[in-house]
């Protein structure tokens, strides 16, 4: 019991150096937008203008936020990548959440993220990815490319060298094996367009 309490105390303490890394890493601007997006995941509402140290540390107590931070630090390379490896052992990210992508836009929000694998050519800015999602190769090649402000629902699969356009929504449980046009909502197996959301697309694009 005492050892578990001590371990919890150590892990709480490790949030402080993790926050310092987030504030000083080469990817700090993207990291701060990740946290602001975590705090405000709705794309139709504005993000906070700034992020306090307390708000950053509070967000880093969530496993899925730490997973995104470790991804950023690995992409920064060098000692930042080493720090990510060490700290991820001591203060783990989300269980069974794996990323393999060298080009990740700022403002990525992972909702829960359990049992999620993302292997992508590119992930655009302000993308929202839910739990039990698979993004990766198919027998036609790969990997996929996600545009800006793409939302991927729980249990969805995006497979092969497809492009999911800006502001598109991939519904829960959908299996995407073809390109998704910008601003469209797709669902089903295989996924097909169920909503021609030009008005929604225009409104979101206008909001920045």
Quick: pLDDT tens for 71-124: 999 999 999 999 999 999 999 999 999 999 999 999 999 999 999 999 999 999
Going 44 to 45 to 49 to 55, the CA torsion angle's sign is: negative
DSSP-H helix ranges across 50-172: 53-59, 63-76, 78-90
Q: What does DSSP say about strands 163-164 and 145-146: parallel, antiparallel, or unpaired? A: parallel
CA distance 22 to 56: 9
Residues 127-154 pLDDT 10s: 999 999 999 999 988 899 999 999 999 9
pLDDT band at 43 (very low <50, low <70, confident <90, very high): confident
Global confidence as pTM: 0.88
Three-state DSSP state, 51: coil
Determine if the peptide bond prior to 205 is cis (ω within 30°).
no
CA distance 172 to 174: 6
pLDDT band at 182 (very low <50, low <70, confident <90, very high): very high
């Amino acid at each position: 019991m005492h050892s578990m309490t001590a371990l919890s105390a150590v892990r709480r303490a490790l949030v402080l150096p993790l926050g310092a890394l987030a504030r000083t890493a080469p990817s700090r601007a993207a990291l701060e937008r990740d946290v602001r997006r975590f705090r405000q995941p709705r794309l139709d509402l504005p993000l906070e203008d700034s992020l306090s140290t307390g708000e950053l540390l509070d967000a880093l107590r969530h496993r899925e936020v730490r997973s995104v931070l470790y991804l950023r630090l690995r992409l920064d390379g060098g000692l930042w990548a080493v720090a990510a490896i060490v700290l991820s052992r001591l203060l783990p990210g989300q269980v069974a959440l794996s990323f393999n992508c060298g080009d990740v836009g700022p403002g990525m929000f992972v909702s829960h993220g359990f049992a999620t694998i993302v292997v992508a050519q590119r992930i655009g800015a302000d993308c929202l990815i839910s739990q039990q999602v698979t993004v990766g190769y198919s027998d036609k090649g790969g990997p996929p490319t996600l545009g800006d402000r793409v939302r991927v629902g729980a249990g969805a699969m995006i497979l092969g060298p497809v492009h999911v356009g800006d502001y598109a929504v991939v519904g829960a449980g959908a299996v995407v094996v073809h390109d998704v046009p910008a601003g469209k909502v797709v669902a089903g197996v295989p996924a097909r367009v169920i909503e021609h959301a030009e008005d929604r697309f225009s409104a979101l694009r206008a909001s920045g």
